[in-house]
Amino acid sequence: MKQAKIVGTGSYLPQKILTNFDLQNMVETSDEWIVTRTGIHERRLAQENEFTSTMGLAAAKKAIDDAQKIPQDIDCIIVATLTPDYIFPSTACLIQHALGINGPAFDMQAACSGYIYGLSIAKAFVENGQYKNVLIVASEKLSSIVDYSDRTTCVVFGDGAAACVVSLEGKGLSIDSVKLGASGEYADLLILPGGGCRHPATHETVDQKMHYLRMKGNEVFKHAIRNMESAVRECLADLHLEESNIDWLIPHQANKRIIDALAKRFSHLSEEKVVQNVISKYGNTSASSIGIALDELRKEGKVQHHEKIVFTAFGAGFTWGAAIVTNQK
Ligand code: COA
């Protein structure tokens, strides 16, 4: 049976650090409140000349290298982002040009679930033989849509990028099962109201701060835990596995309390088997967070042969998803 694998990973974080103490000088908040409520200590911010495409390109080059391939081996590019350089053309086309390659390239928007949605598409493409080496890039310049005078959102989000190469050939993580979900009835709970065709940019939309993301954080919170857990259970059922077969859990790095609540539902996993340091260092990087966490975990060399990793994510839409991969060295 043809089996898609993640054969290379990469990530990129901008150098500039925004700490909780910096935020204390910008809005009415405290390091203690942010750490207790979110687990975040600091996040990265892109410079003015860094964009979703340039950060994504940097991550993509590392992933291609890690896969022991060259850019010309890539025959399809999928970019998951909710902060594209432009509404059009796609960020994927900009990255394709920067890599100097041909083939289809498109953006795909599933908010924080983008990496897992991307894995599902890439798996289908390589397993049905349409493309050989699909590059997934998840990249976000969330600082471009965050209102740094709104304490309920500005403490949460950060910038960063991740990428992976999905292929049939080579060593890596076999993508055993992917399950996706969505529920548009909750669209208003996490939304960028301005800039689309419903509210194109006008002086009024700018005055009303409609080009900044808006989030009902506590509502999002409840839905996130429930849907991430059920997506993981769907993957387990799909593969006829038990919870105890999971060796590692990489939840979307949205909030340490969400991660902890999810970890309690998979209580056989010890604390070090649930990835949670990424939220502390980088904040919520939306589509990029799972890819960054996966890249760091792989580079630390901790994942043993045949161990299974579960990814699960949740984001605006609402969208959610989970995937189970197995390390095949
Ligand atoms: N500093 C200090 N106080 C703050 C604050 C901040 N940065 N942000 C909000 N508060 C205040 C609120 O104004 C509120 O005050 P009130 O009780 O006087 O009205 C109080 O803290 C509680 O607010 P609430 O929104 O209920 O806090 P919370 O515990 O839900 O934490 C989030 C807020 C955003 C950290 C949390 O809801 C969260 O992380 N949600 C999930 C977000 C997420 O994952 N989004 C992306 C999905 S991919």
Tens digit of pLDDT for each residue in 196-213?
A: 999 999 999 999 999 999
Among 324, 321, 119, residue whose Cα is nearest residue 228: 321
The widest CA-to-CA distance across the chain, in whole angstroms, is 57
Of 152, 256, 258, best ligand 1 pocket probe by most atoms within 8 Å of the beta carbon: 152
Q: How far, in Å, is the centroid of ligand 1 from the Cα of 37?
A: 7
Average pLDDT, the chain: 97
- 3-class SS at 226? helix
For residue 156, report the distance from its CA to the centre of ligand 1, in Å.
9
Query: Which H or E run includes 295?
Result: helix 289-299
Q: Measure the CA dihedral 152/35/290/64, to 10°.
A: 110
The Cα 323–Cα 310 span in angstroms is: 6
* pLDDT tens digits, one per residue of 47-98: 999 999 999 999 999 999 999 999 999 999 999 999 999 999 999 999 999 9
pLDDT digits (tens, 9 = 90+) for 108-165: 999 999 999 999 999 999 999 999 999 999 999 999 999 999 999 999 999 999 999 9
Instruction: Let me know if 284 is a catalytic residue.
Output: yes
Give the count of beta carbons closer than 10 Å to the beta carbon of residue 25: 7
User: Which has the closest alpha carbon to 174: 81, 303, 27?
Assistant: 303
- Domains for the chain: give ranges and CATH numbers: 5-170 (3.40.47.10), 176-327 (3.40.47.10)
Residue 67 host element (H or E):
none
Residue 300: pLDDT band by 50, 70, 90 thresholds? very high
Q: Give the pair of three-digit tokens for residue 6.
A: 């993640």
Contacts of residue 107, defined as CB under 8 A and 6 or more positions apart, other chains included, come to 78, 79, 80, 81, 84, 90, 91, 92
Please give the model's pTM, rounded to 2 decimal places.
0.97
Q: 307 falls in which pLDDT band (50, 70, 90)?
A: very high
Ligand 1 pocket by Cβ (under 6 Å): 29, 33-34, 37-38, 112, 151-152, 155-156, 215, 217-218, 220-221, 224, 254-255, 258, 284, 314-315
